């Protein structure tokens, strides 16, 4: 069902200032960077074994990440779970009483379809369901 942790999302104020820790201290390969308009963020993906780290930098004050940084500061933001048939998975957990932030999946980074669960339903963890429809980052 849930196949693996696709990635862990980390909120940062500046990719430029943060990336050297990951690429030069931890020596993780940078898979790519891109801007995600729907979330008003710029993201960088780093490969870590079978999973990835996703660094998220806000591109606008209205970005959910800007609001997160203001309230909680930099740090862990979300855990993304890799699934197939994301619409069915959403239906399934809603039937089990989980509230979704996104009832309908939206386009995330890397062409994936993503949907977030409401952290009030998951004891404080922002989980993302993430489905890659044949488009994988070069892993």
- Span from 12-20, 29-37, 78-86, 94-102 in contact with Zn ion (CB under 5 A): 78-86
**Contact pick of 80, 86, 90, 117 for Zn ion (by CB under 5 A):** 80
CA distances from 23 to 17, 32, 55, 95, 132 (A): 11, 12, 12, 42, 25
Number of residues that bind Zn ion (CB under 5 A): 4
Interatomic CA distance for residues 115 and 90, integer angstroms:
8
Region 7-26 residues binding Zn ion, contact defined as CB under 5 A: 9
In angstroms, give the least distance from the CB of 51 to Zn ion.
Answer: 11
Q: Dihedral sign for Cα 97, 121, 63, 84, please.
A: negative
55 lies in the binding site for Zn ion (CB under 5 A): no
In angstroms, give the least distance from the CB of 96 to Zn ion.
Answer: 22
């Amino acid at each position: 069902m849930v196949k693996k942790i696709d990635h862990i999302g980390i909120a940062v104020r500046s990719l430029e200032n943060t990336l050297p820790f990951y690429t030069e201290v931890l020596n993780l390969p940078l898979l790519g960077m891109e801007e995600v308009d729907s979330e008003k963020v710029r993201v960088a993906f780093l490969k870590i074994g079978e999973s990835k780290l996703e660094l998220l930098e806000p591109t606008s004050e209205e970005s959910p990440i800007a609001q997160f940084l203001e309230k909680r500061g930099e740090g862990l933001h979300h855990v993304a779970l890799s699934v197939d048939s994301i619409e069915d998975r959403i239906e399934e957990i809603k039937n089990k009483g989980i509230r979704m932030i996104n009832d309908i999946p939206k386009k995330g980074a890397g062409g994936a379809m993503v949907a977030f669960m409401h952290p009030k339903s998951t004891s404080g963890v922002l989980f993302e369901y993430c489905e890659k429809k044949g488009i994988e980052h070069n892993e």
